[in-house]
Chain A
Amino acid sequence: MFPASRYSSKAHRCIRALKTAQGEHAAPPLYTTLNRRACSSVSTPRITTHYTIHSRDKDPRWEGIEMERFADEADVVIVGGGPAGLSAAIRLKQLANEHEKELRVCLVEKASQIGAHTLSGACLEPTALDELIPDWKERGAPLNTPVTEDVFSILTEKYRIPVPILPGLPMGNHGNYIVRLGNFVRWLGEQAEELGVELYPGYAAAEVLFHEDGSVKGIATNDVGIAKDGSPKDVFERGMELHAKVTMFGEGCHGHLAKQLYKQFNLRENCEPQTYAIGLKEVWAIDEKKWRPGRAEHSVGWPLNRLTYGGSFLYHLNEGEPLVALGFVVGLDYTNPYLSPFREFQRWKHHPFVAATLEGGSRIAYGARALNEGGSQSIPKLTFPGGLLIGCSPGFMNVPKIKGTHTAMKSGMLAAEAVFPKVTAEGLDSETAGLHAPEYAETLKKSWVWKELHAVRNIRPSFHNYFGLYGGMAYTGVFYWIFRGKEPWTLKHCGLDADQLKPAKECTPIEYPKPDGKLSFDLLSSVALSGTNHEGDQPAHLTLKSDSVPVQRNLAIYDGPEQRFCPAGVYEYVPLETGDGMRLQINAQNCVHCKTCDIKDPSQNINWVVPEGGGGPAYNGL
């Protein structure tokens, strides 16, 4: 775990001292301050209390507690009420009605209401929706803002270089709609309920269940009533088991159950690791005079340097009030641990081109979420006995278009079509108790989703060159615009995002401007605006495999990047109450479920697990 060669001799002594001097508070005086910082955890305060790290089997506080779970059976269980999960549910019920078959479809969603954890730009390409619900307009789908103008810029600190969007370039938005995805997902939820899907928002899938033969049996929802220290409260109740013939996992980008399934079924052995970005978003009510409904603006360049992937979006909505949805995306393969995506976002708003739109307006919403950038190179094996993966969980985002909703929806629909004949068949001959539907992966490879992803597969990796952004744009211009992605080679990514950080001493800290309270804001007031909250008395759901790694490694080598990349201020390094040194404080209640920490932690020590259902952000139409 710790490559020995990277540590100085002082650090070696420190680590040895830790192993022998456990429990002693005073650090021997011969060590320097740096080492005292690193080995302050001579007695590391216990941080993680979650039962996934500290098992309840041997915990005396759990003796005699009833651990039986109530179980119920459905035909299909879907984890996640986002575009993919809901499209799969809707398609299943449509097929059931068409063929006059009974089908019990249950969908569990960790947010308190469908749409409350949904966050996206978003410019929706209606291709999948046209296929799923052709009469969406009559049914009142909230696609109210067709894109009327596309503006693309390269920003410098003070100026803007306009870039023409020639037809055929991936970021052209003709025919698309600017939507508030949370509202669209809510509408999809209503359509699903009308068709008879059982929706259970407020209940998180916390555990995957397996048959004796190793196939997936279903999921179990989270236990409730566990205290912060891991002991059972009076109101403790076990979660419920939902068994199904097929379980579809649509947890969105970097799902926590998907992470377990990758290991369990070795789904990632023939694909590249997934690469990610973090997207931060705000919604503003602006001055009517500045409002241009239907305008979609994108930019690259300032404030990021040419080697850090990222850019911005600003969409003018047309839903009555003069609202704009704007945000900033930073690729999580950035190398400087002093980079703070949140603060880059805040200072981007001060650029004259952006400030002109926002001046006189007020911010009404904030949120953040990680998104996939791996494209077709990073798609894992999609099916396994008893289940399959849909949506952004395996990751079908078209990166240069920055659109993943239409492909997620299509993947859900194809999964439903592959699974339906199997779950309704009389006397199906199956090798395993949980049904396997490899047809889903086959039909996906033959569909427009795959064609689209294949054509753009080399654009994101083309940024890994000396010229960074400019090299990538040049590559896109030649190989995508002219040759439509038909080049015979496939470029690779550079490996795990978590491995890309350089040690802090090799990088320069970035001087971010103070928030001015009018255009830019501080982190905590932004988090308050996301409406996020969790039951306080529960174990922190940001679990650490080892409680001493944050201070010993993350802080010592990388100066604690988690305090900068978390868009909700969950991670703070605070001085110890007694003696010298720091400790990691996890403010789990602030978490907005973006998953960035699980992705970017250079020690891969943080394991995000799902908290009690109903907790998390309360996004409204984000």
Chain B
Amino acid sequence: MSGRVLVGVKRVIDYAVKIRVKPDNSGVVTDGVKHSMNPFCEIAVEEAVKMKEKKLIKEVVAVSCGPQQAQETIRTALAMGADRGIHVEVTGKDYDMLGPLQVSKIMAALAKKEDAQLIILGKQAIDGDCNQTGQMTAALLDWPQGTFASEVSLEGDTVKVVREIDGGLETIKINTPAVLTADLRLNTPRYATLPNIMKAKKKKIAKVKPADLGLDMTSRLEVLRVDEPPQRLAGVKVETVDDLVAKLKETGRL
């Protein structure tokens, strides 16, 4: 086994920032807004680096898709312990419409190219909330998948994954190569400290275009309009149960 792990990291608007819809309703304002690495991607990077520290794998490669600023996110992953980065350059309209299908095609192509043993992704991104990329990537590669992982143990050429599911916890054993997606309780990511940021400047980030991988980034989706959620209206207080039934009938709920 190559001992190489691919980790996907996404640059998203920081979770504490208030989102604003663009005046032309075509999307959300991103210019100058504080961005950071998707929290689930941080957990994914941490898991990969922990595996390397335990000598279970040999190399961690951080991948991000997007414009020039995506390199900042890769640098943070490098500062956390990744060995090198791959920046897949996607800009303009392609970047606006970049979704799980396109990213999973990219990850699948890179996994084959880099002969990856494992792909670790965050379970979902906090902007799209799609929760699809990991699953689509596994399907495109015809690899097993361990999603919503809250515990991962690499044992030879199998992986034991404890998954968080609605009913509780499910433990599965899958063969490598495999795709894993990280859930919240998998680990606590380390800080990217300044000496590591300085060292990360010397690590390599390779730049590729989707066309170089033979991929088409056209989206099947079209965003018609983006609106703020409607203002929550004040509630109405009723005095008796009869009033309540009358109100419900009035609004057509009963």
- 5 further A-B contacts with Cβ under 8 Å, apart from A237-B191, A239-B194, A533-B14, are A115-B32, A182-B32, A240-B193, A531-B16, A533-B15
* Contact call A532/B188, Cβ cutoff below 8 A: no
- Indicate which residue in B14, B17, B32, B194 contacts A186 across the interface (CB closer than 8 Å): B32
Q: For A70, give the chain B residue with the smallest CB separation.
A: B195
- Indicate which residue in A70, A224, A321, A618 contacts B34 across the interface (CB closer than 8 Å): A618
Q: Does A234 contact B (CB under 8 A)?
A: yes
Known: A200-B194, A235-B190, A240-B193. A285 touches B23 (CB 8 A): yes
* Contact call A183/B197, Cβ cutoff below 8 A: no
Nearest chain A CB to B17 CB, angstrom units:
4
Q: Does B198 contact A (CB under 8 A)?
A: yes
Q: Which of A598-622 contact B (CB under 8 A)?
A: 618, 620-621
In this complex, the member of A72, A113, A528, A532 whose beta carbon has the largest number of chain B beta carbons within 10 angstroms is A113
* Contact call B191/A235, Cβ cutoff below 8 A: yes
Q: Does B33 contact A (CB under 8 A)?
A: yes
User: Which residues of chain B are within 8 angstroms of A235 by Cβ–Cβ distance?
Assistant: 188-191
* Contact call A113/B34, Cβ cutoff below 8 A: yes
- Indicate which residue in A112, A221, A225, A285 contacts B194 across the interface (CB closer than 8 Å): A221
* A224 and B14 alpha carbons, distance in the complex (Å): 19
Could you mark each residue 168-188 of chain B with 1 if its beta carbon is under 8 Å from any beta carbon of chain A, else 0?
A: 000000000000000000001
Q: For B36, give the chain A residue with the smallest CB separation.
A: A112
* Contact call B198/A72, Cβ cutoff below 8 A: yes
* Contact call A531/B32, Cβ cutoff below 8 A: no
* Contact call B17/A618, Cβ cutoff below 8 A: yes
Q: For B197, give the chain A residue with the smallest CB separation.
A: A200
* Contact call B32/A183, Cβ cutoff below 8 A: yes
User: Which residues of chain B are within 8 angstroms of A463 by Cβ–Cβ distance?
Assistant: none
Nearest chain B CB to A222 CB, angstrom units:
10
Nearest chain B CB to A236 CB, angstrom units:
9
Q: For B198, give the chain A residue with the smallest CB separation.
A: A72
Could you mark each residue 369-395 of chain A with 1 if its beta carbon is under 8 Å from any beta carbon of chain B, else 0?
A: 000000000000000000000000000
* Contact call A531/B14, Cβ cutoff below 8 A: yes
* Contact call A618/B20, Cβ cutoff below 8 A: no
User: Which residues of chain A are within 8 angstroms of B32 by Cβ–Cβ distance?
Assistant: 115, 182-183, 186, 620-621
Q: Does B18 contact A (CB under 8 A)?
A: yes
User: Which residues of chain A are within 8 angstroms of B23 by Cβ–Cβ distance?
Assistant: 285, 321
Nearest chain B CB to A303 CB, angstrom units:
27
In this complex, the member of B34, B190, B194 whose beta carbon has the largest number of chain A beta carbons within 10 angstroms is B194
Q: Does A418 contact B (CB under 8 A)?
A: no
* Contact call B17/A531, Cβ cutoff below 8 A: yes
* A115 and B33 alpha carbons, distance in the complex (Å): 10
Q: Does A116 contact B (CB under 8 A)?
A: yes
Q: For A619, give the chain B residue with the smallest CB separation.
A: B34
* Contact call A72/B195, Cβ cutoff below 8 A: yes
User: Which residues of chain B are within 8 angstroms of A108 by Cβ–Cβ distance?
Assistant: 194
In this complex, the member of A233, A529, A531 whose beta carbon has the largest number of chain B beta carbons within 10 angstroms is A531
Q: Does A67 contact B (CB under 8 A)?
A: no
- Indicate which residue in A115, A225, A532 contacts B16 across the interface (CB closer than 8 Å): A532
* A618 and B194 alpha carbons, distance in the complex (Å): 20
- Indicate which residue in B20, B188, B195 contacts A240 across the interface (CB closer than 8 Å): B195
* A235 and B193 alpha carbons, distance in the complex (Å): 11
Nearest chain B CB to A294 CB, angstrom units:
20
* Contact call A224/B193, Cβ cutoff below 8 A: yes
- Indicate which residue in B16, B189, B195 contacts A618 across the interface (CB closer than 8 Å): B16
* Contact call B33/A620, Cβ cutoff below 8 A: yes
* Contact call A240/B194, Cβ cutoff below 8 A: yes
Nearest chain A CB to B231 CB, angstrom units:
10
User: Which residues of chain B are within 8 angstroms of A203 by Cβ–Cβ distance?
Assistant: 194, 197
* Contact call A224/B191, Cβ cutoff below 8 A: yes
User: Which residues of chain A are within 8 angstroms of B188 by Cβ–Cβ distance?
Assistant: 233-235
User: Which residues of chain B are within 8 angstroms of A186 by Cβ–Cβ distance?
Assistant: 32
* A237 and B79 alpha carbons, distance in the complex (Å): 13
Nearest chain B CB to A226 CB, angstrom units:
11
* Contact call A533/B16, Cβ cutoff below 8 A: yes
User: Which residues of chain B are within 8 angstroms of A354 by Cβ–Cβ distance?
Assistant: none
* A231 and B190 alpha carbons, distance in the complex (Å): 16
* A183 and B31 alpha carbons, distance in the complex (Å): 10
Q: Does A478 contact B (CB under 8 A)?
A: no
Q: Does A364 contact B (CB under 8 A)?
A: yes
* Contact call A225/B191, Cβ cutoff below 8 A: yes
Could you mark each residue 180-212 of chain A with 1 if its beta carbon is under 8 Å from any beta carbon of chain B, else 0?
A: 001100100000000000001001000000000
Q: For B192, give the chain A residue with the smallest CB separation.
A: A202
User: Which residues of chain B are within 8 angstroms of A618 by Cβ–Cβ distance?
Assistant: 14, 16-17, 33-34
Nearest chain B CB to A473 CB, angstrom units:
38
* Contact call B18/A528, Cβ cutoff below 8 A: yes
Could you mark each residue 259-303 of chain A with 1 if its beta carbon is under 8 Å from any beta carbon of chain B, else 0?
A: 000000000000000000000000001000000000000000000
17 A-B residue pairs with Cβ-Cβ distance under 8 Å, sorted by A, are: A183-B32, A203-B194, A203-B197, A221-B194, A224-B191, A234-B188, A235-B190, A237-B191, A239-B194, A240-B194, A240-B195, A285-B23, A364-B20, A529-B18, A531-B14, A531-B17, A618-B16
User: Which residues of chain A are within 8 angstroms of B36 by Cβ–Cβ distance?
Assistant: 112
Nearest chain B CB to A119 CB, angstrom units:
14
Q: For A366, give the chain B residue with the smallest CB separation.
A: B18
* Contact call A116/B34, Cβ cutoff below 8 A: yes
User: Which residues of chain A are within 8 angstroms of B18 by Cβ–Cβ distance?
Assistant: 528-529, 531
* A72 and B201 alpha carbons, distance in the complex (Å): 15
* A414 and B17 alpha carbons, distance in the complex (Å): 37
Q: What 6 pairs between A and B have smallest CB-CB spacing? A: A533-B16, A618-B34, A531-B17, A224-B191, A70-B195, A240-B194
Nearest chain A CB to B118 CB, angstrom units:
23
* A115 and B23 alpha carbons, distance in the complex (Å): 23
In this complex, the member of A70, A200, A225, A618 whose beta carbon has the largest number of chain B beta carbons within 10 angstroms is A618
* Contact call A112/B191, Cβ cutoff below 8 A: no
User: Which residues of chain A are within 8 angstroms of B197 by Cβ–Cβ distance?
Assistant: 200, 203
Could you mark each residue 314-330 of chain A with 1 if its beta carbon is under 8 Å from any beta carbon of chain B, else 0?
A: 00000001000000000
User: Which residues of chain B are within 8 angstroms of A224 by Cβ–Cβ distance?
Assistant: 191, 193
* A285 and B22 alpha carbons, distance in the complex (Å): 11
User: Which residues of chain A are within 8 angstroms of B195 by Cβ–Cβ distance?
Assistant: 70, 72, 240
Q: For A589, give the chain B residue with the smallest CB separation.
A: B16
Known: A112-B34, A620-B32. A237 touches B193 (CB 8 A): yes
Q: For A621, give the chain B residue with the smallest CB separation.
A: B32
* A70 and B193 alpha carbons, distance in the complex (Å): 11
User: Which residues of chain B are within 8 angstroms of A113 by Cβ–Cβ distance?
Assistant: 34
* A347 and B198 alpha carbons, distance in the complex (Å): 48
Q: For A221, give the chain B residue with the smallest CB separation.
A: B194
Nearest chain A CB to B228 CB, angstrom units:
10
Nearest chain A CB to B69 CB, angstrom units:
10
Could you mark each residue 16-29 of chain B with 1 if its beta carbon is under 8 Å from any beta carbon of chain A, else 0?
A: 11101001000000
Q: For B199, give the chain A residue with the smallest CB separation.
A: A70
* A113 and B32 alpha carbons, distance in the complex (Å): 9
Q: For A614, give the chain B residue with the smallest CB separation.
A: B36
User: Which residues of chain B are within 8 angstroms of A321 by Cβ–Cβ distance?
Assistant: 23
Q: Which of A474-529 contact B (CB under 8 A)?
A: 528-529
Nearest chain B CB to A112 CB, angstrom units:
6
Nearest chain A CB to B150 CB, angstrom units:
17
User: Which residues of chain A are within 8 angstroms of B14 by Cβ–Cβ distance?
Assistant: 112, 531, 533, 618
* A225 and B194 alpha carbons, distance in the complex (Å): 14
Q: For B30, give the chain A residue with the smallest CB separation.
A: A620
* A533 and B13 alpha carbons, distance in the complex (Å): 13
* A116 and B189 alpha carbons, distance in the complex (Å): 24
Nearest chain A CB to B70 CB, angstrom units:
15
Nearest chain A CB to B15 CB, angstrom units:
8
Q: Which of B1-53 contact A (CB under 8 A)?
A: 14-18, 20, 23, 32-34, 36
